[in-house]
Chains A and B, each alone.
Chain A
Amino acid sequence: MSTPAAGSNPARITSEVVAKVAKLASLKLSEDEITLMTSQLSGMLDHFADIDKLDLENVVPLAQPFPLKNVFREDVIVKGLDRDEVLAAAPAAEDGRFRVPPSSGLGEQ
């Protein structure tokens, strides 16, 4: 199996797409990181193009190894996690709740 050099097909993904994906993933990346990520992802996507030659037209996707059904438990009250113990692990808490900074609605990435 050959390993294409990173970035051998720069057209596969652009830095604009990488910047957009970073925003979708809530990851603040520096310009340098976006450049490096564009080159590395491009190299990987080149490699992953090996499956393009397969005829997958009539193949049923497999998302889970075994058919799974939703599992329900008896509708009885059970003890949950201890609230104080959970909140003690949070970066900020107040009045029995998680505390977060205000949301401007848009965010700055």
Chain B
Amino acid sequence: MTKSFATVVDIAQDIASGKTSATEVLEQHLQRINERESEINAFNLVTTEQARQTAAQVDADIKAGKKLGPLAGVPVALKDNMCTRGIETTCSSKILEGWKPPYDATVVTRLQQAGAVMIGKTNLDEFAMGSSTENSAFGPTKNPLDTSRVPGGSSGGSAAAVAAGFAAASLGSDTGGSIRQPASLCGLVGVKPTYGLVSRQGIVAFASSLDQVGPFTHTVADAALMMEVIGGHDPLDSTSLPQPMPSLSSVLEQGVKGMRIGRLADMPDGCEPEVLARMDAAYAALQSAGATIVDISLPSLSYCLTAYYLVAPAEASSNLARYDGVRYGMRVETGDLHSMYGATRAAGFGAEVKRRIMLGTYALSAGYFDAYYGKALKVRRLIANDFAAAYEKCDVILTPTSPTVAFPLGDKTSDPLTMYLCDIFTIPTNLAGHAAMSVPFGTGAHNLPVGVQVLAPALGEQTMFRVAAELERAS
């Protein structure tokens, strides 16, 4: 399992109480980056100087007796698809290499206001399209627990940074599992909040009806604290839900007595036996803590992959139309505007991004719209209906996060469809807009971590965190 590093909660307490300083904590993390980053490649950019300035400011504020934010002095890493004013934001794509955004994402501002120290921008599959972080234009990230294996993706750099002790916590984005799957493969807690609970202003858009931002942490309590800092209404995001962030830290000790836990009666094929064994152990642990296990079915589950891989590329093909060599990033000069667009996009985008733009454009094009995109939206309705029926019988649903533990680098890169199958358990939540999180729950094959996924209905975060905390106590 992961080497134990100090948690967000402990670091914040120790800095606030004067047991250590923000500068001291930062230097410990920078030291670990110096030791292992060349091997892991978690970061596109380490913001050493800015981080030292922020940490020094936190220490000065403590000395001056100022009121501190809940994350004062905590080193946090950001997925490199989150805008940071004046600091390079690339989405691990050549097309945005060197781009310095003119504003901060709302989640970045909220972390700053809470006193967090931004330590760097992490690697990802280009434009968050992938499940292994091998699609990055700047080279793959390695899993810190076994560097011959992938950390998962697309937020693989954010997961690896926390698992390697480079940052105490990080933020990722999750369109089809891009936080939960790498959390599972790296032995971390990873949260995909309810659609609209966390602002997406300043997050580079991939598929706008699916994208959400969430944290990676070592513990459930850390994830609760991070969520409380980044969540809640933002007038700058028109899809932001108009309610305040519920308290999560306060519910973690409430247990699961009387709760109904949904178990999939029709588990899809392809799960490793060790993963299924951990699922049985998870159900047993919750049962002995006073919950009831209820069998449920999601008849449309096996069709989610198709719905997702039509809806997400369709939205991406539209969102990525903005990379045309005019307003930001690179340009390939030609004599004519239209050939400049085509040449810039051909040189700037990698193979997987091109594939998804093509698939999405095709699914939306005249003559094919009804057969593909239109049908996919109907399947999306079916899965939402399945969940609604299931949640009549249970409060949360437990599934594996990933059918397998971390796989070797290069294992799934030759056939895009094999890679897409990694997302079978994580995609349905995004299609429905619900909440979900992955919690480490022991190990499977090769002694690598297995994550259990807790699914909850929209705005079911409090219930979801109670279950996650119980699983953590039992693991």
Cβ-neighbour of B336 out of A50, A86, A102 (below 8 A): A102
Asked if B362 and A17 sit within 8 Å, CB to CB, the answer is yes
Asked if A71 and B432 sit within 8 Å, CB to CB, the answer is no
Task: List CB contacts (< 8 Å) of B379-437 with chain A.
Answer: 379-382, 384, 415-418, 421, 424, 431-434
Task: List CB contacts (< 8 Å) of A92-109 with chain B.
Answer: 92, 98, 100-104, 106-109
Asked if B342 and A47 sit within 8 Å, CB to CB, the answer is no
CA gap between A64 and B269 in the complex, in Å: 29
Asked if B334 and A82 sit within 8 Å, CB to CB, the answer is no
Closest chain A residue to B300, Cβ basis: A54
Asked if B305 and A1 sit within 8 Å, CB to CB, the answer is yes
CA gap between A50 and B346 in the complex, in Å: 31
Cβ-neighbour of B375 out of A43, A51, A86 (below 8 A): A51
Asked if B378 and A50 sit within 8 Å, CB to CB, the answer is no
| B424: min CB distance to chain A, Å | 7
Residue A90 interfacial (CB < 8 Å): yes
Given contacts A47-B306, A107-B337, 20 further A-B contacts (CB under 8 A): A21-B361, A22-B358, A29-B346, A40-B355, A41-B358, A44-B416, A44-B417, A51-B303, A61-B380, A63-B209, A65-B209, A66-B196, A66-B433, A68-B238, A68-B239, A88-B100, A89-B99, A103-B338, A104-B336, A106-B338
Asked if A48 and B310 sit within 8 Å, CB to CB, the answer is yes
Asked if A48 and B341 sit within 8 Å, CB to CB, the answer is no
Q: Which residues of A contact B431 (CB under 8 A)?
A: 62, 65
CA gap between A18 and B365 in the complex, in Å: 11
Asked if A27 and B432 sit within 8 Å, CB to CB, the answer is no
Interface size on B, residues (CB 8 A): 76
Most buried by B among A40, A60, A91: A91
Q: Give 1 or 0 for each of B123-136: 1 = CB within 8 Å of chain A CB.
A: 00000000000000
CA gap between A27 and B357 in the complex, in Å: 9
Residue A81 interfacial (CB < 8 Å): yes
Asked if B377 and A61 sit within 8 Å, CB to CB, the answer is yes
Asked if B345 and A51 sit within 8 Å, CB to CB, the answer is no
Total residue contacts A-B, CB cutoff 8 A: 188
Q: Which residues of B contact A63 (CB under 8 A)?
A: 209, 377, 380
Asked if B345 and A27 sit within 8 Å, CB to CB, the answer is yes
Q: Give 1 or 0 for each of B326-354: 1 = CB within 8 Å of chain A CB.
A: 11111101111111111101100100001
Cβ-neighbour of B342 out of A66, A82, A104, A107 (below 8 A): A107
Cβ-neighbour of B326 out of A13, A22, A48, A98 (below 8 A): A98
CA gap between A65 and B459 in the complex, in Å: 12
| B304: min CB distance to chain A, Å | 10
Residue B374 interfacial (CB < 8 Å): yes
Asked if A28 and B309 sit within 8 Å, CB to CB, the answer is no
| A52: min CB distance to chain B, Å | 8
Asked if B102 and A50 sit within 8 Å, CB to CB, the answer is no
Q: Which residues of A contact B354 (CB under 8 A)?
A: 27, 29, 33, 37
Closest chain A residue to B317, Cβ basis: A25
CA gap between A56 and B377 in the complex, in Å: 10
Asked if A101 and B342 sit within 8 Å, CB to CB, the answer is no
Q: Give 1 or 0 for each of A41-81: 1 = CB within 8 Å of chain B CB.
A: 10111011011101010011111111010110100000001
Q: Give 1 or 0 for each of B280-294: 1 = CB within 8 Å of chain A CB.
A: 000000000000000
Asked if A21 and B209 sit within 8 Å, CB to CB, the answer is no
CA gap between A29 and B241 in the complex, in Å: 41
CA gap between A14 and B321 in the complex, in Å: 24
Closest 8 pairs (CB-CB, A-B): A65-B433, A107-B338, A61-B377, A28-B342, A91-B331, A103-B337, A62-B381, A28-B346
Q: Which residues of A contact B209 (CB under 8 A)?
A: 63-65
Residue B372 interfacial (CB < 8 Å): yes
Most buried by B among A59, A62, A63, A88: A62
Q: Which residues of A contact B339 (CB under 8 A)?
A: 28, 107-109
Asked if B375 and A104 sit within 8 Å, CB to CB, the answer is no
Query: Can you pick out 23 interface pairs between chain A and chain B where the beta carbons lie within 8 Å of each other?
Result: A4-B417, A18-B358, A24-B365, A25-B358, A27-B354, A28-B346, A41-B358, A47-B306, A51-B303, A51-B307, A51-B375, A51-B376, A52-B375, A54-B378, A81-B103, A88-B100, A89-B102, A90-B327, A91-B326, A101-B333, A104-B337, A107-B336, A107-B341
